[in-house]
Chain A
Amino acid sequence: DIQMTQSPSSLSASVGDRVTITCRASQIISSYLNWYQQKPGKAPKLLIYGASSLQSGVPSRFSGSGSGTDFTLTISSLQPEDFATYYCQQSYSTITFGQGTRLDIK
């Protein structure tokens, strides 16, 4: 299976900060990379699909980039509701997820 490695595993930031989360695949996955946000006690929510396409209804401060093996999720200006855990997921072959990045308030 393809291993997905996110960094950092946790991150403390302040409202208004620009934040970048990285996801690296153990082999080339083209653009078959999606990002999800999960809040405690809730199901994951799709943010970005196909590495860089913003899901309908998701604020434009979220953006994704990358292809091949290296991908990033950027939040341009953190809002209070953005503090959550973020997961990358590849759909190139047998589905696997990154271990998650916990984003909390500094």
Chain B
Amino acid sequence: QVQLVQSGAEVKMPGASVKVSCKASGSTFDNYYIHWLRQAPAQGLEWMGIINPSGGDSSYAQKFQDRVTMTRDTSTSTVYMELSSLTSDDTAVYYCARVMFRDHWFDPWGQGTLVTVSS
């Protein structure tokens, strides 16, 4: 059964970039997509984008189009989400989540990574 394990909490200065990892254990990079979402403190869930780990192709929400990059390393079954030009509004818990090909729901989710942007 696949598990998604994310990297640890980060504290960044405004204007910096952050790179969060999501490692899939118990499964190869076949037949699913990885999505990234975030949740600001006491707020709802926001979708950021999707990457196909086997092919490497990705698509981003328009809001993040100019400053997010999603990549993968097939040798370690790890996907990455890098967000640049951080502001305090980017303070949030960032999640990765799996969607199987031909499915339309998120399961499982990573445990979340808190990114704090503060001077």
Q: How many residues of B contact A (CB 8 A)?
A: 18
Complex partner residue of A32 from B104, B107, B112, CB under 8 angstroms? B104
8 A Cβ contacts from A11-53 to B: 32, 34, 36, 42-46, 49-50
Q: A46 and B106: CB pair below 8 A?
A: yes
Interface of B is mostly: loop
Tell me if B44 is interfacial: C-beta within 8 Å of chain A.
Answer: yes
8 A Cβ contacts from A60-106 to B: 87, 89, 91, 94-100
Complex partner residue of A91 from B104, B107, B110, B111, CB under 8 angstroms? B104
Tell me if A7 is interfacial: C-beta within 8 Å of chain B.
Answer: no
Q: A89 and B45: CB pair below 8 A?
A: yes
8 A Cβ contacts from B82-96 to A: 95
Complex partner residue of A43 from B35, B61, B109, CB under 8 angstroms? B109
Tell me if A3 is interfacial: C-beta within 8 Å of chain B.
Answer: no
Q: A46 and B95: CB pair below 8 A?
A: no
Complex partner residue of A44 from B35, B46, B104, B106, CB under 8 angstroms? B106
Number of A-B pairs, beta carbon distance below 8 Å: 49
CB distance from A92 to the nearest CB of B (A): 8
Q: A50 and B44: CB pair below 8 A?
A: no
List residues of chain B with CB within 8 A of the CB of A43: 95, 97, 108-112
Q: A91 and B45: CB pair below 8 A?
A: no
Question: Do A100 and B44 form a contact, CB below 8 Å, given A43-B111, A43-B112, A94-B61?
Answer: yes
Question: Do A55 and B107 form a contact, CB below 8 Å, given A87-B44, A94-B61, A95-B35?
Answer: yes
Q: B45 and A44: CB pair below 8 A?
A: yes
CB distance from B82 to the nearest CB of A (A): 20
Interchain CA distance A49-B102 in the complex, whole Å: 13
Closest to B111 in A: A43
**4 new A-B pairs (CB below 8 Å) besides A43-B108, A94-B47?**
A34-B106, A43-B111, A89-B105, A96-B47
The chain B residues found within 8 Å of chain A, CB to CB, are: 35, 44-47, 61, 95, 97, 103-112
